[in-house]
Structure 1
Amino acid sequence: MSINRIAIYHLETLLWIDRLGTFSAAAERLNTTQPAVSARMRELEQRLGSTLFRRDGRGMALTPAGRKLVRDCAPLLREMERALLGSGGFGEASGVVRIGAGEIAAASCLPPFIAALKAEMPGVGLEIEIDLTANLIQQLLTGRTDLAFAAGPVAHPSLRTSPIGSVALLWLASPAVAATFARGTEAALPVWSLASHSPIHGRMRDAIAASRIAAKSLNLCNNARMMIDIAKAGGGVGIFPEPMVQGEIAGGALVELAGLPPLAPVAFHVAMRVADTEPVLTRIFDQAATLHIGAVAPVDADQ
């Protein structure tokens, strides 16, 4: 056994393969290539004199020796990271953290949070992706992102979550469309909702069913900002998150419609994988958990 030739990156790579399930996912997380990950694991096996992986169908699975090494080394690496951070502080932290967020979070609490995070951890590179909650959770579970700001309840045994408040939803239209609505000709008005795999879409269908608006006029879009621009141009009625339309309401480009069913607010959570115990990620999650995206009590919803 050539233990003096085993580097930290060999063990770090092994742990990421175990957490994410594949060599390719570990390579993406470590900002390297799959061949590089495979080479690291061949080196580790050669220097330990043990077989750590066996072929399992089209993929690779850990052997009992591999699982034991993961179990024994994970706490050691975690303590080493903590010791190094304790010496240099989070200002000396490095690496890349991938953050996923929906449009609502991106338009409200995310910008100041990111600015504060960069001030504390200037050496940590951030990669931010804006997407719908369903996609964000899938990316989080597969290791493509490290942290997600997601709408609605996030219930999964592999994820650690914390509520960060709620956002109000408003029925809005341009002044001209609102005037048409007030005259009682709303049945022909186009109505806009987020895409059908979003629970906000389901909530909107329920609200339409309880209103005077014809459900057949419902249109879908996967981008809230685009829907806001369509409504401003007189293209119909929509349900919009209040933080994203404050400017339009203040400037008179959009007005709230009266006489429509009230809408419960959208709850938000921050989430990370339970298996991710790196001090930097834990620190970022703990800071995100102190955010408050709105002032109303959270209820079950999604984006």
Structure 2
Amino acid sequence: MSINRIAFYHLETLLWIARLGTFAAAAARLNTTQPAISARVRELESHLGTALFRREGRAMALTPAGRELVRESEPLWARFQGVLMGCSDISGATGIIRIGAGEIAAASCLPGFVAQLGHDLPHVSLEVDIALTVDLIQQLASGRTDIAFAAGRIAHPMLRTAPIGSVDLLWLASPSTVRNMDAAHTPIWSLTNLSPLYRIMKEAIAASDLADCPLNLCNNVRTMIDIVLEGGGIGIFPHPMVRQPIASGRLVPVPDAPAMPPVEFQVAMRAAESDPLVLAIFDRASRLDLRAGAAA
């Protein structure tokens, strides 16, 4: 057993394969190639004198020895990274952080947050993915995403969350639609049932005088805004995404529309997360205040 030849990158590679599930995903995360990942695994297995993975169909699964090494190495790796970060200013941190966000969260808080991260952590690369909340939860739990911003309350045993404020929902239409509104024929646009906002919108519509209007569904808020701007009906929109058309008068409130509860937002990460950089960024994100538009 040639333990003295084991390098930190061997353990880093092993831990990312264990977290992400495939050599290809680990290669993407570590900004290298799949053959390079395979070579690192072969080197590590050769140095240890034991197999760490076995093939199961097209997938690679950890052997009992591999699982034990991962279990024992994870806290050591996290501690090592913490020591390195503690010995230097966090502004010198390096790595790739993957941030996921729902469309509304992306418009509400992500631009300013990401811009400030880029300023404070110039050597950290950010990969931002806009996705549905259900997909964000899966990506977080599997380790493909480090931190996610999402609408609604996230309840998942593998995730740690923090509230970051709420956003108002508004009934809006173009001025011409409001002037010619017909409670039986004017369509209402809502997000689909894949969105955590669907239930809120559905209940609000049912309680309004517009309950008999045709209901159209769309999975993209910006597309709905464009349709309503063109006179295509009534929409229920998050305030941060419609500030400009409201200010210009291109969208106006729908008369006598019922009030709607604000939508809560949360930031989430894996409950078992131990990477010091991810923890530091999550702590910063958890201090966001959407109503204030700045860190608390």
Relative to the length of structure 2, the TM-score reads 0.92
Residue 260 (structure 2) pairs with residue 263 (structure 1): yes
- Paired position in structure 2 for 1:230: 227
Task: Tell me the secondary structure at the aligned position of residue 199 of structure 2.
Answer: helix
- Paired position in structure 2 for 1:50: 50
Task: Tell me the secondary structure at the aligned position of residue 108 of structure 2.
Answer: coil
- CA displacement at 1:216 relative to structure 2: 6.2
Task: Tell me the secondary structure at the aligned position of residue 164 of structure 1.
Answer: strand
1:96-121 per-position Cα deviation (integer Å, ceiling 9, x unaligned): 11111122222222222112211221
- For the 8 Å contact 1:102–1:150, the answer to whether it is kept is yes
- Paired position in structure 1 for 2:291: 294
- Paired position in structure 2 for 1:188: 185
C-alpha distance in 2 between matches for 1:36 and 1:273: 27
- CA displacement at 1:220 relative to structure 2: 1.8
Spell out the pairing of 1:74-93 with structure 2 (5 A cutoff): 74-93=74-93
- Paired position in structure 2 for 1:17: 17
The letter of the residue matching 1:104 is I
C-alpha distance in 2 between matches for 1:60 and 1:84: 31
Spell out the pairing of 1:79-158 with structure 2 (5 A cutoff): 79-158=79-158
C-alpha distance in 2 between matches for 1:176 and 1:224: 21
- CA displacement at 1:46 relative to structure 2: 0.6
C-alpha distance in 1 between matches for 2:11 and 2:241: 44
Task: Tell me the secondary structure at the aligned position of residue 204 of structure 1.
Answer: helix
The letter of the residue matching 2:200 is R
- Paired position in structure 2 for 1:179: 179
The letter of the residue matching 1:18 is A
- For the 8 Å contact 2:152–2:197, the answer to whether it is kept is no
C-alpha distance in 2 between matches for 1:237 and 1:180: 12
C-alpha distance in 1 between matches for 2:201 and 2:213: 13
Q: Which moved more, 1:37-46 or 1:130-139?
A: 130-139
- The match for 2:214 among 213, 217, 228 is 217
- For the 8 Å contact 1:25–1:143, the answer to whether it is kept is no
- For the 8 Å contact 2:183–2:212, the answer to whether it is kept is no
- CA displacement at 1:275 relative to structure 2: 2.8
- Paired position in structure 2 for 1:298: none
The letter of the residue matching 1:234 is G
1:144-181 per-position Cα deviation (integer Å, ceiling 9, x unaligned): 32111011111111111111111110110011111223
- CA displacement at 1:271 relative to structure 2: 0.7
C-alpha distance in 1 between matches for 2:130 and 2:48: 42
The letter of the residue matching 1:79 is R
The letter of the residue matching 1:249 is I
1:197-253 per-position Cα deviation (integer Å, ceiling 9, x unaligned): 113223222222222325562112222112112111111100000111122112211
C-alpha distance in 2 between matches for 1:31 and 1:202: 40
The letter of the residue matching 1:136 is L
- For the 8 Å contact 1:147–1:272, the answer to whether it is kept is yes
Q: Which moved more, 1:185-194 or 1:22-31?
A: 22-31
Q: Cα RMSD over matched residues?
A: 1.8
In structure 1, the gaps of 5 or more residues are 296-303
C-alpha distance in 2 between matches for 1:197 and 1:103: 13
The letter of the residue matching 2:144 is R
- CA displacement at 1:33 relative to structure 2: 3.2
Residue 161 (structure 2) pairs with residue 161 (structure 1): yes
- Paired position in structure 2 for 1:299: none
Task: Tell me the secondary structure at the aligned position of residue 149 of structure 2.
Answer: strand
Task: Tell me the secondary structure at the aligned position of residue 184 of structure 2.
Answer: helix
Q: Which moved more, 1:228-237 or 1:214-223?
A: 214-223
Q: Which moved more, 1:25-34 or 1:269-278?
A: 25-34
- CA displacement at 1:23 relative to structure 2: 2.7
- For the 8 Å contact 1:2–1:47, the answer to whether it is kept is yes
- CA displacement at 1:81 relative to structure 2: 1.1
C-alpha distance in 2 between matches for 1:215 and 1:137: 35
